[in-house]
Structure 1
Amino acid sequence: MATLAQEKMELEQLSEMMLLSKKTKHEQKLVVEGDSWFDYPLTKDIIDHLRKMGYAIKRHSKHGDTLENMVFGSEYSIRKNVAINNGDRGLQEVLTSVRIYNPRFVLFSAGGNDVVGSEFEQYLNHKNSGLKLFKETNYNQNLLVMKNAIEQFLIRIWEVDPGIDILMDGYDYAKPNGTTYLGISGPWVLPGFAKKNILNRETEQEPIIKKLVDGFNGILKELDAAYERFHHIDLRGVFPDDNMWDNEIHLKSQGYKKVADIYHRKMEQIAGFNPVV
């Protein structure tokens, strides 16, 4: 019986073969960039499920990656006391795949690590300070930065092929319950609240998470309205229960399958083609 790792590898190899096959239809071809929702180790993620449906996918996504790094490049090295930025290598790789494989769609998942990663605490005031718990002005400023980065990603893709439709979801509301990924990484949300003495989940934590996720989905809606070939996938409220989540910010495999189905239905609607059939 094949292990999950073997199955994921076989799906990837099949995708590579399909991308190069003349029998594969244009509407089946996807190039994807993103974070752990498109690259979740030891669990079938959204991309794994789309591959099983029949999509031929070139994956560039990497768990833990940030929006800023995907678009502009934030990785660096230091040589002889001189800092060197490695540039937008990730974006260049995506653009190269778009040129080589001529996909019908590009799927993009980014921004989560920019909000609930190391940046999370900057949006919170300590409860004992007497100030508002959520630094709304700070977050709104960062939303403008993220919106600019997403817009730059879209423009660069369309410079290569203006006929590509780009789909992007804005996640669902994270669960501040302290769960981790196999005890290896996380939790990502609850410690930030704890440091700021924001301890009541229902009255304090969840309203802040709602503002974070709603704000991010808000900029995606604005881009959806501004660009005909950009499509916002709204997942808010789709996974309300903690038992649907693997940890604070990642879904279980059946949750990712549900998201894959939502992406599939949207692509079928846009292109009028169903690779599952």
Structure 2
Amino acid sequence: MAKISYAQYLELLMDPDTPDEVIAAFSTFAPGIGAFDPTLLPDPDRVAMTRDQIEAESGMKIGNGLARWRRNQAFRRALRSGDTRQVLVAEGDSWFQFPIFLREVIGHLSDPYLVWCASAAGDTARNMVYGQPRFGEAEYLIELNRQRDRVRAFLFSAAGNDIIGEDAEAGDGTPVLRKILTNPGTGTTDPAAYVHDHEVAARLAFLEQAYGKVIGDIRAHPRFATLPILIHGYDVPFPWPWGDKDRRNPRWAKKDQWLGSAFAPAGIEGPLRREILSHLIDRLYAMLDRVAASDPHVHVVDCRGTLPNPTDWADEIHGTSDGFAAVADRFHATLTRVLAN
């Protein structure tokens, strides 16, 4: 592939009509901090840059902001053109907004719907719900009000980074998952025996409170008293390595970035790792079901079983583009049902 100039690379980035796949072909990732917060960089093998441009690029953080800007620029253009697709507003994490290299859930839903996306890879429920908003109110609430005459549903994706990411409350740099895991040393195969139950219960209680606040804040606006709200609890991932033929080798993270590196210190190996994750995911869905039981217009999209094979995963926690298509199909089926009422 012939090199392009740095100026041409920037033109690609700033044109919302440039397909993500084209940008990905000329880009690479610098891994981010925390659960997932990468920096997109021009690939020096494919983009010709001077030394000054290389130094300037190293000081720029292009990732979540760029991906969101491109997606929402396309949304604005579509509205101005009179696009009649149903409008959705979304807030969430990397299952809703993955910078450039994967087509995630919102990427696929952006075909049948017009989606304004306030999501960011690596974001946590703690930050989305209790962080200091830039404009005095949560961004998704601002956009819901802006689209109040058009919006048909709100989609929310949060919890994963609160568990696999660093413990923000403790501030000690330790991933929460490491604090959850334990090894009873008895050889039991019961996955529940390998987690600190009180720790899991406390984390889920916080998440339940956060979800309740999101729903309550939306319902506080009379226009949104019955607005459909869709939530989900992910699918059960495959910690790396999953057998001798695990071919996952993401450009944006270490192979065991989130899961394998948490299980190893606890001495937990093999299929038991995934059984423990299945136990945790089931408990997350049980919490979400309780949240939904309090409001008939909150709908849990059960994504379990959408990514049943290691080849459906691009890394330990993200589906491939095709894998995410299966997840998006579950959302689309739920939207089709609830929007028909």
Task: Give the shorter-chain TM-score range.
Answer: 0.7 to 0.9
Q: CA deviation at 1:264?
A: 1.2
Q: 2:177·2:262 contact (CA, 8 Å) conserved in 1?
A: yes
Deviations 1:16-42 (A, max 9, x none): 2334566636xx111100000001121
What residue in structure 1 maps to residue 13 of structure 2? Answer: none
Change (3 A) 1:255 1:130: closer
Q: Aligned partners of 2:225, 2:147: CA distance in 1, in Å?
A: 15
Q: 1:39·1:63 contact (CA, 8 Å) conserved in 2?
A: yes
Deviations 1:100-143 (A, max 9, x none): 01211000010011122221111112455999421122101211
**Equivalent AA in structure 2 for residue 106 of structure 1:** F
- Asked whether 1:16 is paired with 2:86, we answer no
**Equivalent AA in structure 1 for residue 73 of structure 2:** Q
Q: Percent identity?
A: 29
Q: Aligned partners of 2:104, 2:306: CA distance in 1, in Å?
A: 16
**Equivalent AA in structure 2 for residue 95 of structure 1:** L
- Asked whether 1:37 is paired with 2:95, we answer yes
Superposition map of 1:133-212 within 5 A: 133-160=194-221, 161-178=224-241, 179=248, 181-184=250-253, 187-199=257-269, 201-202=270-271, 204-212=272-280
Q: 1:71 aligns with which of 129, 132, 148?
A: 129
Superposition map of 1:96-135 within 5 A: 96-102=142-148, 103-117=151-165, 118-126=175-183, 132-135=193-196
Quick check: 251-260 or 127-136, which moved more?
127-136
**Equivalent AA in structure 2 for residue 46 of structure 1:** V
TM-score for the superposition, normalised by structure 2:
0.68
Change (3 A) 1:111 1:168: same
The number of residues matched between the two structures is 255
What residue in structure 2 maps to residue 46 of structure 1? Answer: 105
What residue in structure 2 maps to residue 256 of structure 1? Answer: 324
Q: CA deviation at 1:13?
A: 3.2
SS at 2:123 equivalent: coil
As a proportion of its length, which structure holds more helix? 1
Q: Aligned partners of 2:143, 2:204: CA distance in 1, in Å?
A: 28
Q: Aligned partners of 2:77, 2:90: CA distance in 1, in Å?
A: 16
Q: Aligned partners of 1:88, 1:136: CA distance in 2, in Å?
A: 33
**Equivalent AA in structure 1 for residue 273 of structure 2:** Q
**Equivalent AA in structure 1 for residue 104 of structure 2:** D
Quick check: 183-192 or 165-174, which moved more?
183-192
**Equivalent AA in structure 2 for residue 93 of structure 1:** E
**Equivalent AA in structure 1 for residue 205 of structure 2:** L
Deviations 1:125-162 (A, max 9, x none): 24559994211221012111100001101111121221
- Asked whether 1:222 is paired with 2:280, we answer no
Two-structure CA RMSD over aligned residues (Å)? 2.6
Q: Aligned partners of 2:83, 2:239: CA distance in 1, in Å?
A: 46
Deviations 1:48-86 (A, max 9, x none): 111122x1111100000001100001xxxxxxxxxxxxx
Q: 1:169·1:233 contact (CA, 8 Å) conserved in 2?
A: yes
Larger Cα Rg: Structure 1 or Structure 2? 2
Q: Aligned partners of 2:184, 2:267: CA distance in 1, in Å?
A: 6
Q: Aligned partners of 1:21, 1:219: CA distance in 2, in Å?
A: 41
In structure 2, stretches of 5+ residues that fail to align are: 1-16, 24-66, 166-174, 242-247
Change (3 A) 1:225 1:187: same
